[in-house]
Amino acid sequence: MGLTRLGVVSPVGCNVEAAWRTILAGQSKIGRLSGDMYDKLPCRVAATIDKNDIDLEQCFSKTELKTMARATAFALIAAKEALTAASWTPPHDDEQSCQRTGVAIGMGMVDLMDICETNDALKKGYNRVSPFFVPRILPNMPAGQLSIRYGFRGPNHAVSTACATGAHALGDAFRFIQHGDADVMVCGGAEACISPLGIAGFCRLRALSTAFNDEPTASSRPFDERRDGFVMGEGSAIFVLEELEHAKSRGVPIYGEILGYGLSGDASHLTAPREDGTGALLAMRRALNDAGVGVADVGYVNAHATSTPIGDAIEARSIRTLFGEHTQTVAVSSTKGAHGHLLGAAGNLEALFVMQACRSGVIPPTVNLEKVTDDMAGLNYIANKAEPWDGGKRGRRIALKNSFGFGGTNACLCIGEYSE
């Protein structure tokens, strides 16, 4: 399955080249949240989109912004970058191309403040409620808006599986093409739910970092012994996936390939991973089986690792179990130290960096990783500084991308360097 282009709106950059440069430089773009409502909360840090990078009022008309959530706007901007770079914007009257192009874009959470503000408006009167309120909060609207804007009439699909959303969207799109439902899929995830209520809710779950409010760039620290919770982020990353022969027939450069897709359920707990790590293990094994590759063929694992004490340790255990005697030869990192946790847009944003790693031969680092605790020892962590990846005896660079979500939902993508 060929990947022909990418697009991104993220805390680390609002185009692919800028985001990749920031990631390779090992820079954290997490900052302090300002405002009276945040001052009262245990967590006061997040990774937000800089208005100097993306000003939605400059990208859309006032009428358009009334119809869409912030996450939808991010998805449309990222999709435009990807589609333009892929040279795939067929006119609406090109029936064949439009009918064979689909969308699969998910969202983990709606904007809670949109709901609160609309409820306040209702208290003042029925007519104060926007007619676009419901469309704004539907998780399938990034996919719907994109389909309408470009006239794509293939599969119109939206995933909402918490923090595994973005990876599931890519995997589902991969399978739509495999099964002949489309030749091209525009896919990924979007998220923009940073608000006092969102922060408060995750704080009550004891999920967010609270120890680094005065040092925001140090707050997200996957696998590090001082990790104390994740940091919320926002943005979108969009892929243009294309059936390989279709891409070749157009003569467009192919960035890389999705080789396999694995899914599993923990069936264990609302928010915590299964303690023995078998949920993650099943997803990874199924992705490898689907791709037809073995553990010895994989040179890099981009971990879900959100910087939580429990989750990171369980994932490390499952990676050790999967790779066994090959554990020390597999590089492991999580880019969340730089951009925080984008929830429903995490898996797709990080898959973008995996694809770049496979293509460029450079493995991105885990920012703020200073010391690993004994329960996570034994892995080849790439800490703070990017490292070259030549593929070694494997020849072709192949990686796994993990994503796990509340409710015990797990996804793993097997991604590879494009090989003729």
CA 226 – CA 229 distance, rounded (Å): 10
The pairing of strands 235-242 and 31-32 is: unpaired
Return the structure tokens found at 16. Answer: 């692919």
Question: 35, 60, 30: which is closest to 47 by C-alpha?
Answer: 30
CA 173 – CA 167 distance, rounded (Å): 10
Sign of CA dihedral 52, 53, 57, 61: positive
Element (DSSP H or E) covering residue 313: helix 309-323
Question: 247, 262, 244, 227: which is closest to 347 by C-alpha?
Answer: 262
Reduced to 3 states (helix: H, G, I; strand: E, B; else coil), residue 28 is coil
Q: Each residue of 64-77: b (16+ CB within 10 Å) or e?
A: ebebbbbbbbbbbb
Q: What are phi and psi of 188, to 5 degrees?
A: 155, -150
Catalytic residue among 43, 163, 358, 414: 163
Question: 398, 208, 404: which is closest to 304 by C-alpha?
Answer: 404
Sign of CA dihedral 66, 140, 49, 16: negative
CA angle 47, 220, 285 (to 5 degrees): 105
Residue 163 among the catalytic residues: yes
Element (DSSP H or E) covering residue 420: none
Residues composing the chain: 420
CA 301 – CA 401 distance, rounded (Å): 6
Do 31 and 214 contact (CB within 8 A), yes or no? no
Question: 352, 335, 351, 356: which is closest to 400 by C-alpha?
Answer: 351
Return the structure tokens found at 410. Answer: 């797990």
Return the structure tokens found at 233. Answer: 């982020």
Partners of 5 in beta bridges: 240
Residues annotated as catalytic are: 163
